[in-house]
Amino acid sequence: MPHVKSIFRALSIVSLAAWAMGAYSVGASAATSTTTLQNMQAAFNGESNAHMRYLAFAEQADRENYGEVASLFRAAARAEGVHASNHAQVIKGMGAVPQAKLESPEVKSTRENLEAAIKGETYERDIMYPTFLKQARRDGNTDAVRSLDFAKTAEAEHAKLYTRSLQNLDQLKGSKSTTFFVCPTCGYTTSEPNFSNCPSCFTPGEMFEKVS
């Protein structure tokens, strides 16, 4: 994910910046927690850029005739927008202004874009969000915990969906757009909404947004 203003110079932000520039390696560096506000700013910045990046990846998938993959990227982009909005509300509640430095996405082939997306989502699921959650719990910031936990759960689902698409990419060539369902509260994303309430935040299933 891309870097933010120099005032937010946590090592976690360095990791995010490297990933956004296409140089991120999951084992290269780990998120180092500083303060919950700094972490929320880093998360807001990351999700804001992920929203733009996945929309660009969707356009590339459409160009390569991977309709279903394009739909998945658009659904994930919507979910990242939900996360960014949630993080922004927490930041405002802490008396600060949400800040994001939007970078031009690096777009490659759809296969490479899926690989990059899997790396990013895995990093957020396994390293960044667990670290940020630990600090938020230590600080007793329940709003931050809620927002971060929602994002972590959704990113885990994104990683699964991207992995499935990558594994079946040859079969998805020539596929048409398909419908995904995104929770407007927490960003949980699925292709099969076979539940009455969101598994993550219990929002009624009928409120999920359809993205294709």
DSSP state at residue 207:
G
Q: Which of 25-39, 88-102, 141-155 has the lowest mean pLDDT?
A: 25-39
Enumerate domains of the chain plus CATH numbers. 11-175 (1.20.1260.10)
pLDDT digits (tens, 9 = 90+) for 102-143: 999 999 999 999 999 999 999 999 999 999 999 999 999 999
Task: Report, as an integer, the average pLDDT of 193-204.
Answer: 95
- List the one residue out of 146, 37, 36, 26 whose CA is nearest residue 82: 146
Amino acid symbol at 176: K
Is 135 in contact with 36 (CB distance < 8 Å)? yes
Q: Using a pLDDT cut of 90, give the percent of the chain over it.
A: 83
Residue 52 pLDDT more than 90? Answer: yes
